Amino acid sequence: MVKHERLRRGEEMGRKIVGNKWDRLVEVLQETHPDMAKYIVEWAYGEVFARPDLGLREREIASVVSLTILRLGPQLKTHIYGALNVGITERELMELFVHIAMFVGFPTALFGTRIAKDVFEELARKKKASRPDDGKEIKLP
């Protein structure tokens, strides 16, 4: 695959997975290390995530499990958003942590659970804040 094609494919995969947080993620990566940002976009997203033999759901499950085991909170948070963006439900994510607890231990599974709950709460706050006031809700002083 030609370099510019990998970059295009990486951008496409990144947007599918990370959604509206993609541009900020790339910006942070570029501020941290421009060459590494390029490798992450082109190789991780443009090559690995784009491979045909697993779907994005399966890849995000693998990512969430791996990052939980490694206790990499910021990256796990990004991939929990990614998991939700590719159709994994909150309930499925919580069940995933129950399942891995028998292999990785409860403290590690609870680490992932806490990060996931933080993401769910953040999304709920944003959803609530974006709802228009239809005048039906009673507001008490």
Topology, domain 55-130? AhpD-like (1.20.1290)
With contact defined as beta carbons under 8 Å apart, do 55 and 96 qualify?
A: no
With contact defined as beta carbons under 8 Å apart, do 46 and 13 qualify?
A: yes
Residue by residue, pLDDT tens for the chain (141 residues) are: 567 899 999 999 999 999 999 999 999 999 999 999 999 999 999 999 999 999 999 999 999 999 999 999 999 999 999 999 999 999 999 999 999 999 999 999 999 999 999 999 999 999 998 876 655 555 555
Q: CA-to-CA distance for 40 and 45, rounded, in angstroms?
A: 7
What residue ranges do the domains of the chain occupy? Answer: 1-53, 55-130
